[in-house]
Structure 1
Amino acid sequence: MQTSEYGLSNWAGAHLNVIALSEPGSSLTPGSKTPLRALATHDSRTARQTDADQYPHVRFRNAPVGRGNRPSPSLTEVLSKDSHSPYDYLDSTMGRPALLGDDLLVVPVFGKIYRSGNRGQVFSLVRFDDQGAVRGPLEGLDLYKDSPFTGFCFTVVADPHRARAFHLNRYGLYAWSADGRLRSRMSTEDKPFKALTHFALLQCTPAGELLLAHRKQNLLLRVPVPENLDGLTAAVEAALKGYGTGRTALKKQCNPVNWHWVDNSAQVHHL
């Protein structure tokens, strides 16, 4: 999970900066917070922090995370070492972590967003283990051709039961194995997958299905992911074809107004 910190750099208020895990056996109780073990931090610029900015339940080395007591190096520092410029990841943004396995997570980190345009800006999908050691990125993406900044498509989801990760942006749908290898890429320039530009990636279900949401039509599409990722292309193509047929049938039944659906039968329709 992510938790925030105060007193970072020149930012006002709380800023999401710490990735932490709850300890085994811990539980929520009234009036207390579950102890969290910090695995990694995004930014280490903490010169402005005071003791009042610390959360007692977020801990590292048996003490609250704050100032110099934190996992090191930070993700910003790790990524900057391998980047063209040490300033590429300055003021970058950390996305939502996804659990890739029992002892492996993936966290998206995106470079600073500019008003003038961001396609080609740096980003990385970082893998690290439950001890906070970086295990490398999810590989195979081009900073320009596969840029998530178009449309701000920053979500990465994972299936921890089958150890694989997925990302969808305006240029394609991507799938990786737990070792970071890109196993499948479906380009939205290809006719069968053009419709993917209208969907946002929400989550990977426990059953191993990708859950997509249409950006305008207020419908969800479930894509069953085969055990062998080599078959994902055919599964996505079939799901997109089925979406059009299912949507047309549902329109006749529910008569939506401006894509707002009313179903008096209270039944769930699977697309």
Structure 2
Amino acid sequence: MPELPEVEVTRRSFADAIEGARVLEVRLGKPLRWPLGLDQDELLGSTVGAATRRGKYLWLPLRGERLAGGLLLHLGMSGSLAFTARDSNPGPHDHFDLRTNRGLLRLHDPRRFGAVVWSPSLADGPAAKLLAGLGLEPFDPRFTGAYLKAGLAARRVAIKQALLAGDLVVGAGNIYACEALFLAGIDPRLPANKLSGPRCERLAEAVRGVLGRALEAGGTTLRDFRDAHGVAGSFQMQAQVYGREAEPCRVCATSIRRIVQGQRSTFFCPACQKK
């Protein structure tokens, strides 16, 4: 599943090129997770604003003579966006096309868990409901050890599960949660409310560090992630624990372990990561 770094890398790869473009045509393929929410022809002639991101959602503002709002996009489990200056015929898994005078933005989604939804604003309509439960962005100055400590105080679930919930901080998906917990030296099975203040501070810093490096690496490509220009990410080459079951820890040479938490694989070093 594309996580925050992959979504942000995607945004950066097409945002400048499409900003200010005029919508010429909208094509819908097979139904996605939710309906578009308006007649697609109402988008014609509108102008594209500056694309932004909130968590794993992308916001594409659109404004026309009788239209103001935008499209909230989600890549789902296996979706990707491509932006190209040339038109091409859609394939069987291409379910949304936004053709503009600057190029074609296309959503490719084999499993159709993604979404393209019209909303009058980020603070109203479907967007407000979908974004309401999201935690802080990891690079928000308010995301500190003290904030994390307070948010975890009443949570008895394992710290890995608390990170994945996304209501304290967004972006710490499965790969990045494993890597951040390794960097912070914290056992993923530790009850969240047992983390001390200093450990919460280390974890907050580790989350920022891991996600920052993932952005620099263009995200993680385990199977088919590509940015809007077809470029793969390389963060998987930097992984310390994720996907390395039974391989030696790069710090202490102990074999990396794999367990299952909440139906997701967790990788960790039993020597470097303490309860």
TM-score tier (shorter): under 0.3
The two structures have a TM-score, normalised by structure 1, of 0.27
The answer to which structure, 1 or 2, has the higher relative contact order (CA under 8 A, 6+ apart) is: 2
The two structures have a TM-score, normalised by structure 2, of 0.26
More helix by share: 2
